[in-house]
Structure 1
Amino acid sequence: MAATDRLGSLRGQFLRWLLIPLVLLVALNAFSVYRNALDAADLAYDRSLLSSARALAERVEIVNGKVVANVPYVALDSFETDTLGRLYYKVTGVNGEFVSGYEDLPDLPKNVPRSEIYPALVHFFQADYQEQPVRIAALHQPVYDDQMRGIALIEVGETLDARRGLSRKILIDTLLRQAALVLAVALMVWVALRFVLAPIMQLRADVEAREPTDLSDFDPSVVHKEIRPLVSAMNGYMARLQTLINGQKRFIADASHQLRTPLTVLKTQAELALRENDPVAMRHIVESIATTTDATVHLANRLLTLARTGHGAATAEMEALSLNKLAHQVCLELALPAVRKQIDLALEADHEVPVMGQALLLHEMLSNLLDNAIRYTPAHGRILLSVFQQHGQAMIEMEDSGPGIAEAEREKVFEPFYRASGSSVMNPGGTGLGLCIVYDIVSLHGGDIALDDAQVPDDDPAQARGLRVSIRFPRLP
């Protein structure tokens, strides 16, 4: 799955991370507000029940030794029904006898605690009456006269229709307010995001409007501080891309220039061969064509190697390799050209020299290094290739008895197509790419390379030149 599919929209992610916790918090707040509102409503309805019980208790008295309730008919009618629900009452005498009201109204349970909210002997409880849930206030009212005294029980019950209606209204109002709050926040965040992300959207438009050849920098100051490192990284990447493109252009120009000469020579030689009738002269021309073709193939191979090391090889995976085995293989492959020139080619290698790298490129590096040494070392000369470990690092040192390279030119020979002074005499068919390829491969592997004069042999003090190439690779992890 693409990264864009996994990440999605920045605006959408921000809204989700903001709104989902906000919705949870709003839900908790709505529940808390709802419970508080219900408690307040219950308190108000309980206070109303207590007021009704007190109003009824004021009409309870003792007459001729009996508890009576002087409740007018109008009062009875108001107790039986209410605009919001039904009200019921019951008066019980000091001895538990029924006095007035609804005799079957549930009695006060024994385990109901007294309410501490009001300065009265009142108990609130819920029960079922006439198949409806009711809330009942039971008030103990002292009654007395000259002959007796005691406590009567006045109960006033109310159906829960009004309370439930109020609860639903409170719940709906709370949810509507909280939902409106969430929608308002979402809208404000969405509008704010449009303004906040406007510079990024403008940057995107600028990138899309750019011409493919325009690799100039973007201005980091037009975006937020948090985005500026990204813009700076883009600018850095484009600078590296521009360097790569410039290198490609230079390489193509140099390669076309270098190939144009041998191809022109081949064409001329072919035209001469077509006009020549003498078989001997024809053979000489064909031999020249073969020689020129070999040089052109060698140049093309070097150019392809140089292109491979500079473009795409860096993405290949590194692996653990044995550098001494690679060196041994390369020496065997190039032993024949050394024998033809009667060059003393020697390899000194430790038993095991591990290195992290790419086998193909390291083989190419050693081949170019040794091939250059064979080409520039005169007949009966010597070449010593050493592979060893030093302080945990893989090392390569190669010494030859050739003309060497002047100190002023040792940095230039790593440039493509540059040839040191006097090299045309020792190797007329050279391309000036051998050390450039070696340098690129060493750099690709994180190593470094140095050129120096070869050590003067003890048996030949007159040989004061020669070249020593030293390569060091990074320590293994």
Structure 2
Amino acid sequence: MPGKDRLGSLRGQFLRWLLIPLVLLVAANAFSVYRNALDAADLAYDRSLLSSARALADRVGIVDGKVQADVPYVALDSFETDTLGRLYFKVTGVNGEFVSGYEDLPDLPKNVPRSDMYPALVHFFHAEYQGQTVRIAALHQPVYDDRMRGIALIEVGETTDARRGLSRQILIDTLLRQAALVLAVALMVWVALRFVLSPIMQLRSDVEAREPTDLSDFDPQLVHKEIRPLVLAMNAYMARLQTLINGQKRFIADASHQLRTPLTVLKTQAELALRENDPVAMRQIVESIAHTTDATVHLANRLLTLARTGHGAEASELQTLSLTQLVRQVCLELALPAVRKQIDLALDADHDIFIRGQALLLHEMVSNLLDNAIRYTPEDGRIVLRVQQQGENVLLEIEDNGPGIPDTEREKVFEPFYRSTTTSAVNPGGTGLGLCIVRDIVVLHGGQILLRNATPINPIDTVITDHAAPAVVLPGLRVSILFPEQR
């Protein structure tokens, strides 16, 4: 898969980031060393050239009004056969006439400055001679006798092979030492990285050795401080994964426990129907099967809704919606059961109030609350739904005058399949999942839910059903849900 191993090895990447700049620095340093070696070689060999020029100048004088150079054969031979390179010389008189040496040796250019390194009047310059590069020292030597005086020019040239060879040798020695240093640094870094990364390697081994069901935390103190946030993030992820797995286990256990009984009843009823010959009795059994099937479908839907809330809502499913319109829609959908029980169903909401959430889950939440209210409110009762703005929050309330829930059971009713004594007496066939689903949906949307006693219900403007409310308000239940406003 392209880009699958894009980052590669941490050790290799660290070495590359360390060694590549180091090699570039070594190359820059080698260039500097080579330049310095050239300057040092030029300085050393220039001194030798100047010494030769001075030695030659000591043999230059004026004889019979002419500049002459008394250079013995042995001295001349040493000039021509120097072991470090070939030497050339040239002596020029006070009037520019050739005196001795190599007449075609290049003359001193006019733009060459005098060297400040020595007290002598000497100029150093490079020139091409006989197909080779030579370094020439041009020394101005005063000459005089009783009849005349002037300045003679003594030039001594040397091929640059020796000094360039010395510079190359210095460069090679430097490069070899620095290469050895780079290799030593790479080896030490490699060993150090193996030692430094050993806790991470141990963590990897621990992860690989873990059983699939073991989601316990890793100890962040066993790794470096910089790696601890990663280990803590892993622990937090495993905690969320454990919560998800526990929710799945709970759902499977709940579903298997709750569906086993109605399915067994359905099987028994079907077997009775197969053995029954009386059409009237068979019809009664089929009606019982239909009733049991409806109850089973209702239970399955509640279980699936409970499982969905346990998995949370994807960010792509969230949207800004009008809670007022959603509550009004649910009231219209459930108005018919309220009318059948002659319940006064009213909505108290003046304008659209928006929240951000998952429309399907919020619809299920309001439907559960209103269905419970209609189911447990007696005939000629009253149910009021309110959607109000409270500062930066949004309040949803559903209030009825049914049997209510005792104070001691108001926390327990949010547990799956728990049913309070008052609701069990009114509706023995309930599933005990409604408020559990409601609580999970509220938490999923960052809200809070509170159960309280009902208060006297004031007249309001928006009424879904036209049946008049009773004069006396019965004891009931008020469910208050507070959502954070997110427009």
TM-score range, shorter chain: over 0.9
Contact 2:412 2:418 in 1 (8 A): yes
Tell me the alpha carbon deviations over residues 251-287 of structure 1, each in whole angstroms, 9 at most, x when there is no partner: 3222221111211222222222222222111111111
Shift of 1:115: 0.6
Q: For the residues of structure 2 that align with 1:281 and 1:348, how far apart are their CA atoms?
A: 49
Contact 1:316 1:358 in 2 (8 A): no
Q: For the residues of structure 2 that align with 1:372 and 1:45, how far apart are their CA atoms?
A: 108
Tell me the alpha carbon deviations over residues 159-215 of structure 1, each in whole angstroms, 9 at most, x when there is no partner: 222233333333333333333322221221112111111111111011011110112
Q: Residue type matched to 2:483 in 1?
A: F
> Do structure 1's residue 467 and structure 2's residue 467 form an aligned pair?
no
Q: For the residues of structure 1 that align with 2:436 and 2:449, how far apart are their CA atoms?
A: 11
Contact 2:38 2:164 in 1 (8 A): no
Partner of 1:165: 165
> Do structure 1's residue 433 and structure 2's residue 433 form an aligned pair?
yes
Contact 1:314 1:444 in 2 (8 A): no
Q: For the residues of structure 1 that align with 2:341 and 2:288, how far apart are their CA atoms?
A: 22
> Do structure 1's residue 45 and structure 2's residue 51 form an aligned pair?
no
Q: 1:226-265 to 2 correspondence within 5 Å?
A: 226-265=226-265
Partner of 2:198: 198
Shift of 1:460: 6.5
Q: For the residues of structure 2 that align with 1:223 and 1:229, how far apart are their CA atoms?
A: 10
Q: 1:240-319 to 2 correspondence within 5 Å?
A: 240-311=240-311, 313-314=313-314, 316-319=316-319
Partner of 2:182: 182
SS in 1 for 2:484: coil
Q: Residue type matched to 2:354 in 1?
A: P
Higher relative contact order (CA 8 A, sep 6+): 2
Select between 73-82 and 198-207 the one with higher mean Cα deviation. Answer: 73-82
Contact 1:61 1:69 in 2 (8 A): yes
> Do structure 1's residue 219 and structure 2's residue 229 form an aligned pair?
no
Partner of 1:379: 379
Alpha-carbon spacing, 1:349–1:462, altered in 2? closer, same or farther (3 Å): closer
Contact 2:356 2:485 in 1 (8 A): no
Q: For the residues of structure 2 that align with 1:404 and 1:88, how far apart are their CA atoms?
A: 123
Q: Residue type matched to 1:223 in 2?
A: V
Q: For the residues of structure 2 that align with 1:381 and 1:234, how far apart are their CA atoms?
A: 54
Shift of 1:32: 1.8
Select between 233-242 and 453-462 the one with higher mean Cα deviation. Answer: 453-462
Percent identical residues: 82
What TM-score, normalized by structure 1, do the two folds share?
Answer: 0.94
Partner of 2:121: 121
What TM-score, normalized by structure 2, do the two folds share?
Answer: 0.93
Partner of 1:356: 356
Contact 1:134 1:158 in 2 (8 A): yes
Q: For the residues of structure 1 that align with 2:269 and 2:3, how far apart are their CA atoms?
A: 58
> Do structure 1's residue 476 and structure 2's residue 486 form an aligned pair?
yes
Number of equivalenced pairs: 477
> Do structure 1's residue 97 and structure 2's residue 101 form an aligned pair?
no
Q: For the residues of structure 2 that align with 1:224 and 1:45, how far apart are their CA atoms?
A: 58
Shift of 1:250: 2.6
Select between 136-145 and 196-205 the one with higher mean Cα deviation. Answer: 136-145
Contact 2:90 2:105 in 1 (8 A): yes
SS in 2 for 1:394: strand
Q: For the residues of structure 2 that align with 1:384 and 1:92, how far apart are their CA atoms?
A: 125
Q: Residue type matched to 2:145 in 1?
A: D
Contact 1:350 1:389 in 2 (8 A): no
Q: Residue type matched to 2:147 in 1?
A: Q
Q: For the residues of structure 2 that align with 1:296 and 1:403, how far apart are their CA atoms?
A: 26
Shift of 1:314: 4.6
Shift of 1:84: 3.3
Q: For the residues of structure 2 that align with 1:398 and 1:288, how far apart are their CA atoms?
A: 33
SS in 1 for 2:140: strand
Q: For the residues of structure 2 that align with 1:210 and 1:33, how far apart are their CA atoms?
A: 57
SS in 1 for 2:408: helix
Unaligned residue ranges in structure 2 (runs of 5+) = 459-468
Contact 1:456 1:465 in 2 (8 A): no
Shift of 1:157: 0.9
Select between 203-212 and 315-324 the one with higher mean Cα deviation. Answer: 315-324
Q: Residue type matched to 2:478 in 1?
A: R
Q: For the residues of structure 1 that align with 2:479 and 2:457, how far apart are their CA atoms?
A: 16
Shift of 1:100: 0.6
Contact 2:247 2:310 in 1 (8 A): no
Q: For the residues of structure 1 that align with 2:354 and 2:417, how far apart are their CA atoms?
A: 32
Tell me the alpha carbon deviations over residues 45-101 of structure 1, each in whole angstroms, 9 at most, x when there is no partner: 111111111111111122222221111112112212333322111111122221111
Partner of 1:333: 333
Q: For the residues of structure 1 that align with 2:251 and 2:79, how far apart are their CA atoms?
A: 106
Select between 434-443 and 221-230 the one with higher mean Cα deviation. Answer: 221-230
Q: For the residues of structure 1 that align with 2:31 and 2:385, how far apart are their CA atoms?
A: 84
